[in-house]
Amino acid sequence: MSYRILLFLVVLVLVEHASLTPAPLQIVIEEPSHTEAIRNVEKMQNLTRTNFEHLQMLSNRSRYVARSCKEIRDRYNEHKDGLYYLTTTNGMVYQTFCDMTTVGGGWTLVASVHENNVYGKCSVGDRWSSQQGNDANLPDGDGNWSNRNTFGSVEGATSDDFKNPGYYDIVGEDMSVWHVPNNFPLEHWNLAALLRYHTDNRFLRLYGGNLFQLFKYCIGGGGYFYPSQCGDFPSFEWDGYGTGQGWSATKEITEAAVLLFYR
């Protein structure tokens, strides 16, 4: 009997010792191939190298005097998409994106509508509807469709709401709309756009030349909706978020920023 007890204790000690002894650490070093290493170095060099010629070209654009991208196209014969400086009638200088290639170019980015949280109903970030909740006593919401408030940055227009002085200062005739996936960098907007469309009937001439004047004709509609539809993109998800059925857009469209241009 004592032999069996002694044998049991020996086995128990051995098992306990084995459980407490850490397994040897095995590290596998994955070395990139020579070709991959060269490619990684070149990629890093391209990211860190300053293109002074390109920066000089962008800096030269700051000398242009124009209220819209169309005027820059016509006065300075510019036909490249990218960032340009514009000046309002009051002398305020600001930077925005110009689409110089679509249907003759001359399109000025004046705003973007970006939904930061489709589940938040008229919550923080819903600048184009209301950030103060769904309130019948505040039918205009934040009122940004019909005021001179500006916000955001042009390079962040697919990551947050954006509105520049051109929204109310430029007098245009037509509009262009791009649906660009959220967070895409500016240099890839054109190719990344899920949808791009524009008017050609000069309808803005009937409403003062811009959305600022057009929305003066509207009453409400900015901050009070059917309870489940309050937000910047209420009409996109009437029949469910991202279903693409009935009155709902696809998930790709709902999760894309809407860029608004004048010409």
- What is the rounded average pLDDT of the residues 52-60? 87
Query: Is residue 252 scored above 90 in pLDDT?
Result: no
**Percent share of the chain, pLDDT over 70:** 66
Q: Cα separation of 32 and 47, whole Å?
A: 20
Q: Where are the alpha helices (DSSP H) in 64-121?
A: 69-76
Q: Cα separation of 51 and 255, whole Å?
A: 33
pLDDT value at residue 179 = 95
* Span 176-210, pLDDT tens digits: 999 999 999 999 999 999 999 999 999 999 999 99
Give the mean pLDDT of the chain: 80
pLDDT value at residue 110 = 98
* Span 121-150, pLDDT tens digits: 667 778 887 777 777 777 777 789 999 999
Q: Where are the alpha helices (DSSP H) in 109-210?
A: 166-169, 189-192
pLDDT value at residue 127 = 85
| 257 bridge partner residues | 180
Nearest to 164 by CA among 94, 213, 67: 94
Q: Cα separation of 121 and 59, whole Å?
A: 42
Q: Which residues contact 142 (CB under 8 A, 6 or more apart)?
A: 126, 127, 128, 129, 130, 131, 132, 149, 222, 223
Tell me how far apart the terminal alpha carbons of the chain are, to the nearest angstrom: 100
Name the phi and psi angles at 62, rounded to 5.
-65, -15
Report which of residues 97 and 56 the model is more confident about: 97
Q: Cα separation of 250 and 230, whole Å?
A: 18
How is the chain split into domains, by residue range? 51-262
Whether residue 97 contacts residue 83, with contact meaning beta carbons closer than 8 Å, is answered with yes
* Span 3-50, pLDDT tens digits: 444 444 444 444 444 444 455 545 545 455 556 656 666 666 666 788
Whether residue 223 contacts residue 129, with contact meaning beta carbons closer than 8 Å, is answered with yes
Report which of residues 51 and 96 the model is more confident about: 96
Query: Is residue 242 scored above 70 in pLDDT?
Result: no
**pTM value surpassing 0.85:** no
Say how many C-beta atoms besides its own lie within 10 A of residue 225's C-beta. 20
* Span 98-107, pLDDT tens digits: 999 999 999 9
What DSSP designation does 108 have? E
Q: Where are the alpha helices (DSSP H) in 115-225?
A: 166-169, 189-192, 211-214
